[in-house]
Structure 1
């Protein structure tokens, strides 16, 4: 991957190296930093040049790069579920990306009063009633009220993957029994078959009532942003599909706080093009997660560096529909030397972090536990796994079984030298483990299509990380909703049961135990690194930068981003 770095309540897929970053430094490289341990001061992982709106110039323009813009702009669908798509939608569609909830830097959740003025919860006789008072002013750009119809439509689309909608995950929507109007259409009464927690797992994003068929949902957003179905402080002024740019201006129909900026432009740029654009003053920020990027940007006139923690987990994203033998997937996990890859990845950045063993939580979380499923690692350990499964080395030294070699490709995205070096390092480690491994090099712009459509064997990518594991456990490990279709009835029941645990610590412990069991059975996703955020930012840009759980796009509040008065 939502406020918890999610789109509509799910973790957004992210390229492992190309998308987000954090900063520090002198001429010799960024300052030494390391991820905060559990219970540490999370404020050290935030750097946004925070300023009140009164201290900023009214008006002005900000131009920001994205790895890809489109082609599928439906953030609730598998093809549109990317961190870039989230970043694009944040300023123009808060209805679809924030919905009922506002999330602070530390992950604490409160109602987003631009949409939901209050959310009340009552449990009686084992069933739950949630009453939502919708802001009377809340309205889509086309004039459609945001009311019970939007909530009911969101539920109908997201409650099951069997209805023909290409959703990422049904989350807790499957436990909803009804969504009806209360005293008016602006009072929404949600009843569930069993209690569900956390409450913010529901209606984090809302889907316009006009999106009312699988055809519209699955195909209607290809090349079409549908701004009429949005609601946010900005609106689309122009979308140039050929130039891959989207220009925004303040939305005169927005009822909430008015934005400071007069114009926002997003441009699709490969990493190498971003470097030139930033140095020439054409864009106002870019991420520099690798030493090659850092060195090229260091010393750029009128710029500064902002450092924080990247909300990312991944590196090993396996497509089990292509790498079908679980023993090969297990051998991949064993062959990987995660520390060696991190040395390549963070070379020169002076960033330290422990090996992470969870896709769902970062090591500084109080709920975190290490679930990495392989303890014996290295080339010999990988070969032993394959040998025990009936594989033997062929004439070329490749392990094969029944005439079928263990062969696949690593899909790598973007043209940064460090990303290529990481892919090559991983390739060599897997080859040493007896596997025939190639590299499928792709442009950054191909990321959403390739990963969303599952057109890869192994991708160096992962997902955004939230402060609570409840939604992620269903997205990643429920057999009916995870993209690999891996799991079993016993794990599915545990996932269904844990959503009713009200206590945050107990519920997250149950989720982490499911992850541990699933990883040890199926070997589909693994964490090689989390990483820092290193952002080069134009001097004077306020309220922008690493924001932890407040934002995936490094803009914690689109109404307050702007330029400091000179």
Structure 2
């Protein structure tokens, strides 16, 4: 599942990123260029890797988050944010539905999946007569915090809640679950036999994230996590010690019921903070990491004592997130005109000003440019104000007495929403606004607080946002989430594309399957113009000196922590 996030500010405490070099200079960050296909991705990892046994045992890690709820179900549309997932991963890797670890699976830095043996010791697949049988050996010790065994009942409930059959359940993406015919016990309840109506690929599209058997109806799934973390329905190396909605903090400590590797840290503290507050908090030693993805933030953080800079490329795609169900944007001609009016390079120049970062292409919502399967699917080649006006003119729009393009007396008028108070964020939004205004559109700015991000996106309370989604190594789940007509948030698509999306999930060959997904994206963008990738961008992180096993981790981590049990402080740096 792709998680939505903003293009800047502090969307999460330690957002998805890749790092090629460390440190900046007094005049600004070191020069860096985005990796293209075939690049050496080993240069994009920087975590200060240390063996857990060599670290000082104990210590506290304090991180900021832009969101702290209010909904803690990361599998629902309302709770589907990168920030929520980052907060939940230490205490509930069993339930994570995306990122570097979740349920039966964990990813390496390249995005290759293997069984997460804390929960699923072995996953075997056999295809016979066009049908697939998947046998899962569940860890005998795997148990939810309330004592409920993680066994066949958990897997059956995960399938039933995720398959999309009950339309009242607010799932983000049914993925391959509709292809599952049955989930039954094998030799015992810890052996799970999954049969499918047709082969499913990649295999990790199933049970990447498990749902507690108690979360078995739409009311509990949709509303049961509002303001309630439900730690009893979790399983992980840490547990929630205290959730304080007034102080906007969550404290986590080692889970005495955890059967896997014991964590190094004795405490994790998450603090909900506006991005502007994180700068002083980091400089004063109140938090241990914060991002510097804009020049303003970098300059304010530069020179902080007992800190180092880790930088690289972010696993992010976005910039144009259109709500096609809003009255102003229901006409595909208007959406096409928006795509046509946008000068992507000009926006990137503003967004990356002073960061010594450049990227040539950012044209897919599903894959990064360094992926061997990537292609630039941005649907418009002839761009600019006049080209955009022609799109509208050809669709029957004419300029009114104020110079605004209108049809049947209704002008093209909408708002661009962005989050936070960073000057670069404001400048980026204003640049987009001017490009659209030059094309004859009446566009105003709607500024919201960073803490409103999850609520605004989850409730679809916007026309167009400067936001996007995290990016995975494989496009199969993304193509369904973004482009299948009954799954994507705009409900845009058609039977022909839906059939191709269903077919590609049965393709075993990774290259062939991802190529097919790229072609679906290309066709959907050309027909419907609902999401447009303007940028990917860098990740620049200021980190407290001595923090080990933390940092840019490619696909291995959603929260910059490759393994929450090994993160800790070097000896002498313990906090």
TM-score of the pair, normalised by structure 2: 0.96
1:371 to 372, 377, 384: 377
Deviation at 1:95, TM superposition (A): 0.4
Shift of 1:453: 0.8
Residue 540 in structure 1 maps to residue 537 in structure 2: no
Aligned pairs for 1:91-130 within 5 A: 91-97=90-96, 98-130=102-134
1:433 deviates by 0.9
d(CA) in 2 for partners of 1:206, 1:558? 19
Is 1:230 the counterpart of 2:234 in the alignment?
Answer: yes
Equivalent residue runs for 1:16-415 within 5 Å = 16-18=7-9, 19=11, 20=15, 24-97=23-96, 98-160=102-164, 162-322=166-326, 323-415=329-421
Q: Is the 8 A contact 1:408 1:457 kept in 2?
A: yes
Conserved in 2, the CA contact under 8 Å of 1:154 and 1:207?
yes
CA distance in 1, matches of 2:547, 2:412: 50
1:308–1:547 Cα contact (<8 Å) kept: no
Equivalent-residue separation in structure 2 for 1:436 and 1:408 (angstroms):
7
**Partners of 1:336 and 1:220 in 2: CA distance:** 41
Listed one character per residue, the Cα deviations across residues 127-170 of structure 1 (whole Å, up to 9, x for unaligned) are 00000000000000000000011111010011016431000011
Which 4+ runs in 1 deviate beyond 4 A? none
2-structure distance, mates of 1:309, 1:139:
37
Q: Residue deviations 1:364-391, cap 9 Å, x none? A: 0000011100010000111000000000
* Separation of aligned partners in 2, 1:543 and 1:531: 23
- Alignment counterpart, residue 558 of structure 2, candidates 543, 546, 552: 552
**In structure 2, how many angstroms separate the alpha carbons of the residues matched to 1:475 and 1:251?**
34
Moved more, 45-54 or 157-166: 157-166
Compute the displacement of 1:465 (Å): 0.2
Output the CA distance in 2 between the equivalents of 1:186 and 1:308: 42
What CA distance in whole angstroms lies between the structure 2 residues aligned with 1:544 and 1:474? 32
Q: Secondary structure at the match of 1:261?
A: coil
**Residue 531, structure 1, aligned to residue 529, structure 2:** no
Listed one character per residue, the Cα deviations across residues 22-55 of structure 1 (whole Å, up to 9, x for unaligned) are 6641011111111112111111111111111122
Q: Distance in 2 between matches of 1:210 and 1:252?
A: 22
- Structure 2 distance, partners of 1:400, 1:37, is 41
Question: Does structure 2 conserve the Cα–Cα contact (< 8 Å) formed by 1:339 and 1:355?
Answer: no
Unaligned runs of 5+ in 1: 1-9
8 Å CA contact 1:46, 1:307 repeated in 2:
no
User: 2:400 and 2:167 mapped to 1: Cα distance?
Assistant: 46
Distance (Å, rounded) in 1 between the aligned partners of 2:385 and 2:312: 34
Q: 1:68: Cα distance to partner?
A: 1.1
**Following the alignment from structure 2 to structure 1, what is the Cα–Cα distance between the partners of residues 331 and 496?**
21
- How far the C-alpha of 1:432 sits from its partner, in A, is 0.6
Quick one: distance in 1 between partners of 2:514 and 2:354?
Answer: 35
Are 1:334 and 1:377, in contact at CA under 8 Å, matched by a contact in 2? yes
Q: Deviations over 1:75-132 (max 9, x none)?
A: 0000000000010011000100110001001111110000000000000000000000
Query: Structure 1 pair 426/24, CA: closer, same or farther in 2 (3 Å)?
Result: farther
CA contact (8 A) 1:12 1:83 kept: yes
Q: Secondary structure at the residue paired with 1:452?
A: helix
Structure 2 unaligned residues grouped into runs of 5+: 97-101
Residue aligned with 1:171, SS: coil
Question: Could you tell me which residue of structure 1 aligns to residue 491 of structure 2?
Answer: 485
Q: CA deviation at 1:16?
A: 1.5
Instruction: Say whether the 8 Å CA contact 1:338–1:355 is kept in structure 2.
Output: no
Give me the whole-angstrom Cα distance separating, in 2, the residues matched to 1:152 and 1:433.
Answer: 52
Instruction: Report what 1:12 is aligned to.
Output: 3
SS of equivalent to 2:29: coil
Secondary structure of residue in 1 paired with 2:402? coil
Q: Deviations over 1:200-234 (max 9, x none)?
A: 00100000000011000000000000000000000
Query: Which residue of the partner structure matches residue 513 of structure 2?
Result: 507
Q: Shift of residue 415 of structure 1?
A: 1.1
Report the equivalent of 2:99: none
Contact 1:244–1:268, Cα closer than 8 Å, also in 2: yes
Check whether the contact 1:260–1:560 (CA below 8 A) recurs between aligned residues. yes
- Counterpart secondary structure, 1:87: helix
2-side partners of 1:204 and 1:379: how far apart? 44
CA contact (8 A) 1:24 1:534 kept: no
Asked if 2 retains the 8 angstrom alpha-carbon contact of 1:100 and 1:113, the reply is yes
- State the shift of 1:248 in Å: 0.4
- 1:440 aligns to what SS in structure 2? strand
Q: Is the 8 A contact 1:47 1:306 kept in 2?
A: yes
SS in 2 for 1:515: helix
Q: Does 1:448 align with 2:447?
A: no
